[in-house]
Amino acid sequence: MKKYTNTGNKDTRSGFGAGMDELGKTNENVVALCADLTGSLKLGDFQKNHPERFFQIGIAEANMIGIAAGMTIGGKIPFTGTFANFSTGRVYDQIRQSVAYSDKNVKICASHAGLTLGEDGATHQILEDIGLMKMLPGMTVINTCDYNQTKAATLAVAEYKGPVYLRFGRPKVANFTPEDQKFEIGKAVLLNEGNDVTIIATGHLVWEALQAAEELEEKGISAEVINIHTIKPLDEEAILKSIKKTGCVVTAEEHNYLGGLGESVARTLTQNHPAPQEFVATKDTFGESGVPELLMEKYELNAAAIVRASEKVIKRK
């Protein structure tokens, strides 16, 4: 089992903030828009260092999406920042018409996704956003796993022309991917090679998948671990290559099992290489208030849940 070291817990949103500040220095076309959550989105440095390119929109997310779409006309690259819930469900029609259908180069950047938002509860814990966004034609959907990867993704999406949904979160989590990584949109990252089961994880569940693989190794089970940071376009080649070897798969995500990464993997398998699959995801439910770790345990979104799902899916081979 390949060893990964946590260089210290950090929040993914701070990776976004650091990436934005760097983009502010390196790309004069990058502009940031925020709907009254500058601190939460870690956009303070961008605002301070590039005030002429920072747009405080107020609590008006629909207007923010429209302004971002308009700012692309004339060559700017707008990054919008608010919570995942207000970045997607609240403004779905604005994104659909003014961004996706109009093919505007807008980067919709969403923090506080999923249960790990914690105590604020289900009104803010969106678990449907990946599904909403991946259904939009032309939309790229990215869910990063740690600080370093979120910073790298932020830099990468500025270079890519087209609408992007970039999803990250609130809590401080393990930071274990390389600081100098090259982020390739649509390219899966093989974290560990194994033969008995493929674990495909995205976002905060990637670190949990690595912990699960270690536990499985102790039980004599060899798990292959793939980090899918880009849910759309999905790296089907990497997924099929792995599952053809292992014969079964566990998908893991902080999202509803309807519409998430797991369903995209299931479709890929159904069309190409049917194989048993278990879903580590929320099961068509809303979240609730609580400490993030306890919520992840209650809703079975952690390493222990991935171990259980792996043992179950192997038996179904």
Partner 1 sequence: MPNKQQLEDFATQVRRDIVRQVHKVNSGHPGGSLGCTEFFTVLYQEIMDRKEGFDMDGKDEDLFFLSNGHISPVFYSVLARSGYFPVEELSTFRLIDSRLQGHPTTHEGLPGIRIASGSLGQGMSVAIGAANTKKLNGDNHLVYTLHGDGELQEGQNWEAIMYAAANKVDNLISTVDLNHQQIDGCTDDVLPMGSLKAKFEAFGWDVLEVKKGNNISAVIDGLNEAKSRTGKGKPVCVLLYTEMGHGVDYMMGSHAWHGVAPNDEQLEKALAQNPETLGDY
Across 168-299, where does the E strand assignment appear?
A: 172-173, 189-192, 197-201, 223-227, 230-232, 249-256, 277-282
CA 50 – CA 33 distance, rounded (Å): 12
Q: How far is the CB of 3 from partner 1 (least distance, A)?
A: 47
Identity at 191, one-letter amino acid code: L
> Using the rule CB under 8 A, is 102 a contact of partner 1?
yes
14-22, 102-110, 172-180, 209-217 -> range binding partner 1 (CB under 8 A): 102-110
Cα angle for residues 300, 287, 40 (degrees, 5° grid): 105
* In the complex, minimum distance from the CB of residue 84 to partner 1, in angstroms, rounded to a whole number: 20
Of residues 69 and 280, the one with the C-beta less far from partner 1: 69
Would you count residue 188 as binding partner 1 (CB under 8 A)?
no
Q: Is 67 in the site for partner 1 (CB under 8 A)?
A: yes
Q: How far is the CB of 181 from partner 1 (least distance, A)?
A: 31
Which of 3, 51, 75, 182: binder of partner 1 (CB under 8 A)?
75
Nearer to partner 1, 94 or 277 (CB): 94
**Whole-number minimum distance, CB 154 to partner 1, in Å?**
21
103 in contact with partner 1 (CB under 8 A): yes
Residue 80 · residue 106 · CB < 8 Å: yes
Active site residues: 61
The mark string for 16-55 relative to partner 1 (x by CB under 8 A, - otherwise) is ---------------x--------------------xx-x
Give the span between the Cα atoms of 83 and 125, in whole angstroms: 9
Of the candidates 156, 162, 154, the residue with the CA atom closest to the CA atom of residue 137: 162
Matching residue, tokens 């270079």: 159
Member of 1, 76, 308, 311 binding partner 1 (CB under 8 A): 76
Among 3, 5, 51, 74, binds partner 1 (CB under 8 A): 74
DSSP 60-82: -HHHHHHHHHHHTTTT-EEEEEE
Please provide residue 54's backbone torsions phi and psi, each rounded to the nearest 5 degrees.
-110, 130
Size of the site for partner 1 (CB under 8 A): 32
Which of 97-105, 140-148, 177-185, 282-290 is the region at the interface with partner 1 (rule: CB under 8 A)? 97-105
- Please identify, using beta-carbon distances, which residue of 105 and 143 lies nearer to partner 1: 105
Binds partner 1 (CB under 8 A): choice among 14, 82, 85, 98: 98
Whole-number minimum distance, CB 140 to partner 1, in Å? 17
The answer to the question of residue 107 lying near partner 1 (CB under 8 A) is no
Q: How far is the CB of 93 from partner 1 (least distance, A)?
A: 5
Alpha-helical (H) ranges within 143-290 are 147-159, 205-218, 236-246, 261-272
The torsion defined by the Cα of 279, 7, 10 and 300, in degrees rounded to 10, comes to 20
Residue 290 CB neighbour total at 10 angstroms: 16
Q: Which range in 2-10, 67-75, 140-148, 306-314 contacts partner 1 by CB under 8 A?
A: 67-75
Q: Which residues contact 30 (CB under 8 A, 6 or more apart)?
A: 20, 23, 24, 53, 76, 77, 79, 158
Which spans of this chain sit near partner 1 (rule: CB under 8 A)? 31, 52-53, 55, 57-58, 60, 62-76, 78, 93-94, 96-98, 101-104
